[in-house]
Structures are given as structure tokens and as C-alpha cells.
Amino acid sequence: MIKKLPENVIRIISSGQIASSPTAVLKELIENSLDAKAKKIKIVIKNATNFSVSDDGTGIPFKELPLTVERFTTSKIENLNDISKLKTYGFRGEALYAIASMSKLTIKSRYEKEKIGGQLKVCENTIIEYKPIPFSQGTKVLVEDLFFNTPVRRKSISKREKSNMLSSIKTLALANPDVTFQINEKILPATSIHERIKQITGLSHMCEIKEDKFHIFFKKREEDERKKINLIFVNRRPVEIPEIKRLMEELNIGSYILFLNLPPEEIDVNVTPLKDRVLIKNGEILNKIKTKLKPEVTLPSVMFVKEERAEYKTEKIKILGTDGTIIIGYDSEYYYFFDQHLIHERVNYEELIKRLKAGKIPTLKLSQILKFPYSKELENKLKSAGIEFFTEGKEITVTAIPEILTVNDIIEIVKGKTPESIASIACKKAIKSGYFPVDTSQVEELFEKYLQCEEREVCPHGRPIYTKIKRKKILKNLGR
Ligand SMILES: Nc1ncnc2c1ncn2[C@@H]1O[C@H](COP(=O)(O)OP(=O)(O)O)[C@@H](O)[C@H]1O
Ligand SMILES: [Mg+2]
């Protein structure tokens, strides 16, 4: 006999695909924060079924809070036409509804234009609390006891779920380097795409090609299978595109992170509820990528990774001299223009860090008490910054700090940032622009030290240290 399913069963079945795993749920929440233009997103994962996502985005108007957990309610599109112009991750208005059907969900939010916030608690799609509360601008979504009413799904949570959750966060963080991500205690500060790739993959060198509609970072070979990174983003959305995967294999590219920036009308994201398949309507882009990546094409190799910067290793840059501001050098392929002050700043900075690590900078006893919750990570960080401390129970007490640091720097270090005072000391000690070294040997000595630096692309404040021009281009301009 054909019977209509009870409401609660319909809800769970139809939510299946979106909230299929804790990782999928977490991804939806982070995407909502990104859609709300958050610049800081904090993710706290207690375990696979209890976690929260907080952001400093636009927030949700108090009146609209209950709508968020209704099915097919969204603030992101109004009609079919809007789907083709879509710039947000979400648009189906199903995620919070689905999550609310299988967990105890709490949403706290304050809308940017309102003075008071609101709290909504929902369980199995029934609102159990809805009240105004004081809250800072933004939104916090807390998921508790996920899948408590779907034992099978609960049992099928993968042993690797937590690591899947982390890699899903990292993928979204890669596509949004301008957003600060905090994952439990760990902070990834907002930065450039190059730094973000470094923060996440640990790779400091990859080739890079930037074109109008795509930006790719890649490594030709990757001997270690486990280190392979194959990621494709279309307009910041992580997606799978089998044609591109095949193309990369064909071209023997081991690791790649490909960002495609296509006008929304050239793609179709409405393929599956998971939105992880994208149809590219115009195949031209694939040909373009292919031509640019063909092995016979010489690859621009200046990157933030050492191997590919073979120009530094195998062929040394010859220094022509300095005008007091710019050091000019060349090799067979490029002319280089280095900012003399920034080179010096980088050299000073790395020397200071080395001395700090080696405990070679005198310390000052602290008169105030500075305590932090104990973690192994923090212990290591403090050690490597030459900070003296003792551990008691679950607390670390800082007793003395190197004289070049301030108490504020310690707080920054705890947050995972580089102390500003080291950068500014490095800067103050660096030769100012306009200073003309007496002989080129001094410039060469400075340049040698710079080549030993771990980071050569940017100064401690993040400014690029050099720019370069292809020799071929100069010759062409000269009509040769
Ligand atoms: N972190 C957030 N900040 C601001 N608004 C949010 C946030 N999360 C959800 N919302 C609001 O709730 C609505 C429903 O969210 P969701 O169910 O994920 O659907 P969708 O993202 O497809 O619109 C969103 O359209 C948005 O208006
Ligand atoms: Mg959403």
C-alpha cells in the first residue's frame, strides 16, 4: 500500500544529501559565514557531533531568525534569474533546515543594523526558544548532538571525520585568504594567497601562472603520493571537474591548486545539492590552461618555493649595483630590481629571530603575572621566541621575556602572530632608502645574506622585496 511518509521522516530523508556527514554540515556553516561577508571565522570542534562556527559577518535580523531554519528560505536569491548571477556559496536555503532536523541547533546573532541580538534554539525543526539577547555583531551557530535521531548515520561517522572536517576548513581557507580562520586555538591570520598556501600546505615553493580567468599554483612532480594536493575552485567554490583532473594527469602535474574565475553566466552550479559539481559552459578555458601548462612552454618560476626558484640556486643573480634605493641585478632570463631597504630589513629580521631562538638576547624579568592555558603548541612557541616560563597544572606562567619584546608581543605570539616589535626593530636597523653604500662589495655582502634567508619574497611587513622584467621583453622593446 502506498502511504504518505510521516513529516519527520520526509524531513530527514530529504535532508540526507546536504547534512550527510559532520564534515558536510560544518562546510555549510562556514560557507554561510563567508556569504555573510565575515572577515573572521572561529570554528570550535569539540568532537564530530558537537561544534560551532562564529563569525563577524552581517548577522541576521531578529525578525528573520526563525526563517533561517525553514526549508527553502534564503536571503541570497529571489528568482531563477539570480541563480545565473550567483556570487554566494549558498542559495538553496536548505542547509540550516536540514541541520535543525537532526541536531540541537542554537543560533545567536546580531544584525549589523540592530542594537540587540537574538537567540534561537531548535530541535528536530521545533523552535524551543526565541528571544532577544545582547550579542556582538555577527553570528554563532552551535550544533549539538548531531544525528542524535538518526542512529545509522551517527554510527557511520568516519573514524577520520575530524581530519575530514579539518581538511574541509582548510580548503575553504585556501579560497578565502583575506579571511582570518581560527580552528580551536590555531589561528590562520588573513593574508595573501601565497602566504595562505604556505600556511596550509606547508609548501614554500610552487610554480605560478596568473591569467585573466585562472590562477594556478602547481608542482610538476610529486614523488610522495600522500603530499599530493589536487584542488580546483570555481569562483572560490571547491569543486570537482573530471576534465581538468584528466588534463593535469596528462600533463604530468603532481600537485595543483587551480582557481578559476569565471563570469557566473559561464557556469552552472545548480547540478547537485552539494554544489560540488560545476558545469563549465564554455570549454575554451580548458584549452587555454592546456596551452599555458604545456611542458615545452618555459614556466615562470619565481615563486615562494625554493626548488622552483632554481634561478637562485643554479644560476646566481649578478649584481650590477645600487642607486641607494634599488639594487639592480640580472641573470640570463630576467633583470631584477630589489628594494635595498627591504632586503636589509629581511636580513635583520631573520637574524633577530635566529638569535631569539638561540636564547642569545638578554631577558627581562616580568613584574606582572602573565598566565595562559597550557598547550604543547604554546609551550613550543614560547620556547622558540626565547621566552622564559614555568608550567604548573594546566597553566603556563611567563616569568621573563627577551628585552626586544613587549608584553603585547607575547599576546600576539600566543595568538599565533609574529611579534610586530621584531619587524619594526628589523626595519629601524635597516639602511634607509637614499643611503649609497661606499662600494659594491657591501651590496654584494648584503645580497649574499639575503640569499640565505628563508623567506625572500616579502619583507616582515608583507611588502614585496623585488620585481623583475624579462630580458626578452627589454630586447623586444629595443627592437631586437
Ligand atoms: N552566519 C550567518 N550570517 C548571516 N546570515 C546567515 C548565516 N547563516 C545563515 N544565515 C541566513 O540564513 C539563511 C539560510 O541559510 P541556509 O539554510 O544555509 O541557506 P542558504 O545559505 O542556501 O541561503 C541564509 O540565506 C542567510 O540569510
Ligand atoms: Mg547556506
Degrees, nearest 5: CA angle 458-41-210: 40
Asked whether the predicted pLDDT for residue 439 surpasses 50, the reply is yes
User: d(Cα 439, Cα 229) in Å, to the nearest integer?
Assistant: 47
User: Tens digit of pLDDT for each residue in 333-373?
Assistant: 889 999 988 888 888 888 888 887 777 888 888 777 788 88
| Residue 72: how many other CB atoms lie within 10 Å | 8
Given a contact cutoff of 8 angstroms between Cβ atoms, the answer to whether 88 and 52 are in contact is: no
Residue type, 353: I
pLDDT value at position 59?
96
Average pLDDT score over residue span 304-317:
43
Choosing from 75, 99, 107 the residue with most ligand 1 atoms within 8 A of its CB, the one to mutate for a pocket test is 75
Is a pLDDT exceeding 90 seen at residue 66? Answer: yes
Percent share of the chain, pLDDT over 70: 84
Please, are residues 403 and 385 in contact by the beta-carbon 8 Å criterion?
no
Question: Do you know the residue count of the chain?
Answer: 480
Ligand 1 center to 111 CA (angstroms): 12
Residue 252 cell numbers, joined: 604530468
Q: From the CB of 41, is ligand 1 less than 6 Å away?
A: no
User: Which residue's CA is the closest to the ligand 1 atom numbered 27?
Assistant: 75
Distance of CA 68 from the midpoint of ligand 1 (Å): 6
With bands split at pLDDT 50, 70 and 90, how would you rate the model's confidence at 310? very low
Domains 7-186 and 310-480 share a fold: no
* Nearest CA-CA partner of 155 in 21, 285, 275, 338: 21
pLDDT at 104 over 70: yes
Our answer on whether the CB atom of 32 is closer than 6 Å to any ligand 1 atom is yes
What is the per-residue pLDDT for 177?
95
- Of 165-174, 249-258, 291-300, 411-420, the poorest mean pLDDT is in 291-300
Is the pLDDT score of 441 beyond 80? no
- Report DSSP state, residue 190: -
**Is residue 275 pLDDT above 60, yes or no?**
no
Q: Cα angle at 339 between 334 and 341, to 5 degrees?
A: 155
> What's the burial of 263, exposed, middle or buried (CB within 10 Å: 0-12/13-18/19+)?
exposed
8 A C-beta contact, residue 222 and residue 256: no
Summary mean pLDDT of the chain: 82
Pick the ligand that lies closest to the CA of residue 53. Answer: 1
CA distances from 217 to 9, 145, 258 (A): 45, 39, 6
CA–centroid distance, residue 148 to ligand 2 (Å):
22
Q: Which residues, at least 6 apart from 156, have a Cβ–Cβ distance to it below 8 Å?
A: none
The count of other CB atoms within 10 Å of the CB of residue 115 is 8
Whether this model's pTM surpasses 0.85: no
Among 347-361, 426-440, 453-467, which is the least confidently predicted range? 426-440
* Per-residue pLDDT at 304 exceeds 80: no
DSSP structure string for 423-457: HHHHHHHSPPTT---SSHHHHHHHHHHHHT-S--S
- How many angstroms is it from 253 CA to the middle of ligand 2? 34
56 lines ligand 1 (CB under 6 A): no
The ligand that comes nearest to the alpha carbon of residue 76 is 1
The answer as to CATH 3.40.640.10 being correct for domain 310-480 is: no
Mutate to test the pocket of ligand 1, among 32, 55, 64, 113 (most ligand atoms within 8 A of CB): 32
For the chain, domain boundaries? 7-186, 191-293, 310-480
Indicate the pLDDT class of residue 453, thresholds 50, 70 and 90. confident
Residue of the CA atom closest to atom 18 of ligand 1? 95
Question: CA-to-CA distance for 150 and 101, rounded, in angstroms?
Answer: 10
Q: Is the CB of 138 under 6 A from ligand 1?
A: no
CATH topology of domain 191-293: Ribosomal Protein S5; domain 2 (3.30.230)
Best of 34, 86, 94, 96 for a ligand 1 pocket test (most atoms within 8 Å of beta carbon)? 96
For residue 258, give the 3-state DSSP assignment.
strand
Percent of the chain topping pLDDT 90: 31
Q: Ligand 2 centroid vs 99 CA: distance in angstroms?
A: 11
Counting atoms of ligand 1 from 1, which one is nearest the CA of 53?
1
CB distance 280 to ligand 1 below 6 Å: no
What's the average model confidence in pLDDT over 396-402?
Answer: 87
CA of 170 to the centre of ligand 2 (A): 18
Topology given in CATH for the domain delimited by 7-186: Heat Shock Protein 90 (3.30.565)
Three-class DSSP category at 209 = strand
How far does the centroid of ligand 2 lie from the alpha carbon of residue 202, in Å?
30
Atom of ligand 1 at shortest range from CA of 57: 3
Mean pLDDT, rounded, for 243-253: 85
Question: Distance between CA 242 and CA 239 in Å, rounded?
Answer: 10
C-alpha 480 – ligand 1 centre gap (Å): 59
